[in-house]
Chains A and B, each alone.
Chain A
Amino acid sequence: MAAADISRLIEAAANTIAAHAEELTRLDQAIGDGDHGLNMKRGFEAVRAEAGAFAAKPLPEALKAIGTKLVMTVGGASGPLFGTLFMVLGKEIPAAPDRADLAAAFGKAIEAVAARGKSQAGQKTMLDVLQPVHEALVQGKAAADIAEIADNAADATVPMKALRGRASFLGDRSIGHMDAGARSTALLVRAVAEAIERRA
Chain B
Amino acid sequence: MSNVGIVIVSHSPLVAEGTADMVRQMVGNEVPLAWCGGNGHGGLGTNVEAIMGAIDKAWSEAGVAILVDLGGAETNSEMAIEMIGEPRAQKIVVCNAPIVEGAVMAATEASGGASLKEVVATAHELSPS
Chain B residues whose CB sits within 8 angstroms of the CB of A72 once the complex forms: 48-49
Chain B residues whose CB sits within 8 angstroms of the CB of A39 once the complex forms: 39, 45
Q: A68 CA to B47 CA in the complex, in Å?
A: 13
Known contacts being A35-B45, A39-B45, A166-B71, is A76 close to B39, with CB within 8 Å?
A: yes
Return the CB mask of A162-186 against B: 1 if under 8 Å, else 0. Answer: 0011100000000000000000000
A41 to chain B, nearest CB (A): 12
Chain A residues whose CB sits within 8 angstroms of the CB of B45 once the complex forms: 35, 39, 75-76
A77 at interface by CB-CB < 8 Å: yes
Q: How many residues of B contact A (CB 8 A)?
A: 18
A60 at interface by CB-CB < 8 Å: no
The answer to whether B71 touches A79, judged by C-beta atoms less than 8 angstroms apart, is: no
Interface residues on A, range: 20 to 34
Chain A residues whose CB sits within 8 angstroms of the CB of B83 once the complex forms: 68, 71
B78 at interface by CB-CB < 8 Å: yes
The answer to whether A165 touches B71, judged by C-beta atoms less than 8 angstroms apart, is: yes
Chain A residues whose CB sits within 8 angstroms of the CB of B39 once the complex forms: 35, 39, 75-76
Known: A35-B43, A165-B71. 12 other contacts (CB 8 A): A35-B39, A76-B45, A76-B46, A76-B72, A77-B72, A77-B75, A80-B75, A83-B79, A116-B78, A166-B70, A166-B71, A166-B72
